[in-house]
A and B are shown apart, each in its own frame.
Chain A
């Protein structure tokens, strides 16, 4: 057996030495901590964020994103919806103290019409003005091409914001 073949064989079928077991355990522990608690995989279900995120696509939720800062307007955030596994991926459109309103599908914040280049589909929503409460942010999906009643959006408490998508 040549040296190259030996190395390949050793890579795929390593000998179960003590050193190898320690290394494998450390890799497993790191993977568990990283992918289980810091950067959790997301399977996007639903079309409420199209065309920014597509139904069935994969992403990661980076949970350290808002450790030292608060979500800003237009940020994408993951909102804890139920348990620790079900979350909503939404865009922040207003922060605490601002007034949100929809007029014929156009978003108004504090009475000013907002430019939303990420909204690609027609929308005819109407929502009377409401002020975002302290300790909350207002989130909406990018796809508003559905009746307003069928879209999960609104004011979310900051304690439910668990991070943001990695890309």
Chain B
């Protein structure tokens, strides 16, 4: 009887231990992880699978807008998309940009995150966009991005995003 009691206590200790570690990881993520998470969300919501329905599309582009600060500066000369945009404008641009693709994947690599001051982060990274248009054309683009994020109401939001122009014609 005493043995069973000990086993139950040990199991409970293990369960609470695992739960404690999970909670610590989940609730006390480092700021760098929180910043990287925004990129993973951007990747998730920008990506498109074949046969995506209208509801899923609408939900994704709405969510993309939520990742950006109210007035975000974008500098992407490669796609002639430069200026200051509101979240609605970004969502609407994302919808238009995703539309011609039958499938699309956006992945981020080589993260270099710095925190120049409290509540702001600067990130340099590689973005790889692959996909296929509805007309069957394959797209495979890789670019270096420079981004700035601001912590607004405890959320890291994109406030600046630049596609680095390595070669200037």
Contacts and interface: CB of A to CB of B under 8 A. Distances in A.
- Size class of the B contact interface (CB-based, 8 Å): 10 to 19
A82 B167 contact: no
B126 A79 contact: no
Interface of A: 79-86, 88, 127, 139, 152-156, 160
A48 to B, nearest CB: 11
B24 interface: no
B133 interface: no
B144 interface: yes
A139 B143 CA distance: 18
B110 interface: yes
B5 interface: no
A151 B140 CA distance: 14
B144 A81 contact: yes
Chain B's interface: helix, strand, loop or mixed, by majority? strand
Contacts of B166: 79-82, 88, 156, 160
Contacts, number: 42
Contacts of B142: 81-82, 86
Contacts of A86: 126, 142
A155 B167 CA distance: 5
A139 B168 CA distance: 10
Given A83-B125, A86-B126, A86-B142, A153 B169 contact: yes
A160 B127 CA distance: 18
B109 interface: yes
Given A82-B126, A156-B167, 11 more contacts: A82-B127, A82-B164, A82-B166, A83-B109, A83-B110, A83-B144, A85-B110, A154-B167, A154-B168, A154-B169, A155-B169
A153 B168 CA distance: 7
A65 B169 CA distance: 25
Among A79, A82, A84, A152, the one with the most B-chain Cβ atoms within 10 Å of its Cβ is: A82
Contacts of B125: 83
Interface in B128-169: 142-144, 164, 166-169
Given A83-B126, A83-B144, A86-B142, A155 B109 contact: no
